[in-house]
Chain A
Amino acid sequence: MSGKHGKFKRREIRDLIQNEYGLKVYNMHEGDKGILTYTNQGDKIFKKMKKDEAQLLFVASAYNHIKSKGFKNISALCKTLEGKYYTKYDGSLYVLEDSMKGKSFSITSEEDGRKIGEVLAKFHTAANNFIPATGSRAKVDWGRWIDKVKVQSVRLKKFKEIAESGTYSTKFDRIFLKYVDEYIKQAEEAYILLKNSGYMERVYMAMQTNQLCHKTFKKHSLTLLDDGDIFISSLENCSYDIIETDLVSLLESCVGTKSLAYLESVLQGYSSLKPLDANSINIIRALLIQPGRFYKIVNRYYGKKKNYNEYELLKKMERGIRKEERRKEIAKKLEEVMQ
C-alpha cells in the first residue's frame, strides 16, 4: 500500500485484523483517517494511535458510555478476541473503529445549522456523568484556559522584546512584529472575558457532573448519512471539559465565511435542547479570540530552541494568522448575535 501506511503490506494488515478481531476482511483501501477496511461486520477504519493502553481504554469507555445513554449515531472501538480495544503492531498501538458510508458534513443551510446544533446538544447530554472503565487514564482539560491565555499574553510580550532586540530581523520576525500587538490585545481581552463570564463556575459545574467533551467536533468527525442523520466518530481526543469548547470546534470547522449567516441557527439548535446563556456565548467568544494557533507557532521559534525548518514555520505562521482572522470573524458574528 502507498501513502503513510506504505510500510505495511496489504496481506499483513488483513491477516492481523482477521486473526486479532476474528473478522473476515473483504477489501481495504487507504483513506484520510486510516485504512478503510470492509469486513463481514461492516466498514471499519484501522488506525494508528499515539496513545497508551490506559488512554485508549478511556476513549473506548467514552464510546461505550455515550452509546449506552441512547446516542446511537456514534462510532465505537472494536474489541479483539482477547477482549482488548487495541492491537499491537511494530511497537505501535492500532485500533479498529466502526465507520459509516456517507458525505463529510458541512453547513449549507439554516436547517443544517440547527440540526448539527441539536446533535451536539444530544451528544453532550449523553456524554454527561461519564466515569471511565477501571484502569483508564482520564484526559482532563477542566479549568486550564485562564492560565493558558495569561501565559500567552505574558510570553508574547517577551517574544516581542526578543524580536525587537535582534541585530538583524528575519522575515519571520517582521511578520511576527506586524501582528503581535493585536494578538497580545486579544489574549488580554480573552482573559478578561473568561474572568467576567463565570468560566470557573462553568468548570466547577462540569466537574460536578463529570462532563465529557468530544474535543474535535469538526467536519472530519461528522459524516452525513444517506438517511440524513449525522454519524459521529474520531473520539480519540475526548476529554473532561466544558461544553463550550466543543461549540468552538464546531463553529470554527463548519461555519466558514460563506456559512457565517447560519451561525445563529447552530446556537438555536443547541439551545433548543440545552439552553446557552450570555456567559456561554462570551466564553465561546473568548476561546475564539485567544490567539492559540499563532502562539503555538511563535513559541516554537522564540520559546524553544528545538530544531525547526524556518521556511516551514513561516508558512505555518501565515496559515495560522489566516485561521486566527477567521476565528475573529466568527467571534464578531457571535457578538452581533448577542446584540
Chain B
Amino acid sequence: MTIDTFVTENKQKDREILSEYNLDLELFNMMGLEIIDIVPVRNIFRITTQKGMFSLKRVIYDEEEMNFIMSVIEHLKRNGFENVMDYMAKDDGSLFYEYDGEKYYLTRWVDGRELDYQNPIDLKSATHLLSKFHKASQGFDMSMVPDSRNLLGKWPQNFKDRILEMNEMKFRALLKKGRADFDRIYLEYVDMCLGDAHEALEILINSPYEELVSKAKEDNGFIHHDYAHHNLIQSFDGKLYVLDFDYCAVDIRIHDVGSLIIRNMKKTGWDIDKALYIIECYDRESPISNDELKVLIPFFLFPQDFWQISRQYYIEKKDWGDRDYLDKMNTKSQYTISRREFIEEFQKRI
C-alpha cells in the first residue's frame, strides 16, 4: 500500500476551459484593443494591448448567475473591500462582450505573485483577508441569489445525495466486467468512505449546524467558495487581491474556513498545528464560535475528494486518461486514513 497526501494541481480543468475560448481578432476589435501578446495563465488569458494588460475571461454561467457574481463584487466594494480587480466596463456601462454565442469580460491585470500557503506569513495574510471578505459580504441583497448559488441549510441533503451516488458508483464498479485499476482502488476504499460519510451525516445532524444557518440568514453574507492560493495575488507594492468569484455562493462562512484548512492539509499530511494556526489567524480578526468549530468536524470527515474523483470517472466520464485518474484516485483515497487521525486530534484539541 502506498500513502500520498500530496496533490498535483489539476491543470486538465484549466486546459479544458482555455480550449473553449474563441480568440478571434473580431472579438478584440469589438473591445477596441490591438493585441500585442496573449498568454494563458491558469484558466484565463493575459492580453497585452496598446492600452495595457488585461485578464480576459469567458463567462461560464447563465445570466442570472452572472448578475449575481457582478452584484457580489459591487457589494464588496461598497462595503469597503478594495481587494478586488477593476472590471473594465464598456462605454454603455455594461461589462460583457458577446461573440460567437459566448460572453467575455476584461479586468485590469495586476502584476504580482500568487500567495503561497506553505509560507506561514502568506497564509496569515490570506486568512485575515478571508475574514475581512466575510465581514464585507454581510448585508447582501438576497433577492439577487439564484437557487443554484444558495447552499444555506443544504449540507445534510448534499451529504445524503453524495452517499447515494457513492453507492450507485459502487454497484457500477462491482458489475463491471474486466475491472480497471481505478475500479479496484475504488472498491478497496468505498466502504470505508461510505462509513465516514454516514458518520459525517450523523454528526452534522446532531451538531449546531441549523443554528449557524439561522444566524447566517440574519447576516445575509456570502462565501468565496474557491479560496485557493492562486486566487490571491499580492502586487509588488504589497496590496492583496482576491480573484475569481465564479464559485461564489451563499453559505455559512465556516465553509470557506474549512475549505482553506483542507487545502492546506493535503500538502502537509493533515498537520493539526497548521489547521489550528488558520483558525487562530481567522479568530483574531473575527472570532470563530464553538458551534462553528463543531460543524467543521463533519465537514472534514465527509470524503468529498473521494466522491468527486469517483463522480468524474463513473458519472461525468471526463476524458482524462487512465493514468491521471489512477494517480488522483490513489491520492484522494489515501488521505482518508490520515484524515481520520487528524479529526480525532482535532476533536480533542477544540
In the bound complex, what is the Cα–Cα distance between A155 and B112 (angstroms)?
A: 33
In the bound complex, what is the Cα–Cα distance between A13 and B121 (angstroms)?
A: 46
In the bound complex, what is the Cα–Cα distance between A43 and B53 (angstroms)?
A: 35
Interface size on A, residues (CB 8 A): 34
For residue A144, CB closer than 8 A to chain B, the reply is yes
For residue A151, CB closer than 8 A to chain B, the reply is yes
In the bound complex, what is the Cα–Cα distance between A155 and B2 (angstroms)?
A: 11
Task: List B254-276 residues whose CB lies under 8 Å from chain A.
Answer: 267-269, 271, 274
Partner of A143, one of B6, B122, B268: B122
One digit per residue, 1 when the CB lies within 8 angstroms of any chain B CB and 0 when it does not, for chain A 190-219 equals 000000000010011001001000000000
Closest to B111 in A: A134
* Known contacts A131-B236, A135-B53, A204 near B4 by CB under 8 Å: no
One digit per residue, 1 when the CB lies within 8 angstroms of any chain B CB and 0 when it does not, for chain A 132-143 equals 101111101011
Task: List B116-135 residues whose CB lies under 8 Å from chain A.
Answer: 116, 118-122
One digit per residue, 1 when the CB lies within 8 angstroms of any chain B CB and 0 when it does not, for chain A 5-49 equals 000000000000000000000000000000000000000000000
* Known contacts A53-B39, A54-B39, A302-B2, A200 near B121 by CB under 8 Å: yes
In the bound complex, what is the Cα–Cα distance between A132 and B236 (angstroms)?
A: 9
For residue B330, CB closer than 8 A to chain A, the reply is yes
Partner of B2, one of A138, A207, A303: A303
A147 contacts B53, CB within 8 Å? no
Interface size on B, residues (CB 8 A): 30
In the bound complex, what is the Cα–Cα distance between A140 and B46 (angstroms)?
A: 20
Partner of B119, one of A155, A203, A306: A203
* Known contacts A54-B39, A134-B53, A302-B3, A146 near B120 by CB under 8 Å: yes
For A306, what are the chain B residues with a Cβ–Cβ distance below 8 Å? Answer: 327
For B271, what are the chain A residues with a Cβ–Cβ distance below 8 Å? Answer: 147, 150-151, 154
For A302, what are the chain B residues with a Cβ–Cβ distance below 8 Å? Answer: 2-3
For residue A162, CB closer than 8 A to chain B, the reply is yes
Closest to A204 in B: B121
B330 contacts A305, CB within 8 Å? yes
Question: What's the minimum C-beta distance from B21 to chain A, rounded to whole angstroms?
Answer: 18
B41 contacts A54, CB within 8 Å? yes
Partner of B111, one of A135, A150, A154: A135
Closest to A159 in B: B3
For residue B107, CB closer than 8 A to chain A, the reply is no
Partner of B236, one of A204, A210, A303: A210
Question: What's the minimum C-beta distance from B235 to chain A, rounded to whole angstroms?
Answer: 10
Q: A residues touching B (Cβ–Cβ < 8 Å)?
A: 52-54, 131-132, 134-138, 140, 142-144, 146-148, 150-151, 154-155, 158, 162, 200, 203-204, 207, 210, 240, 302-306
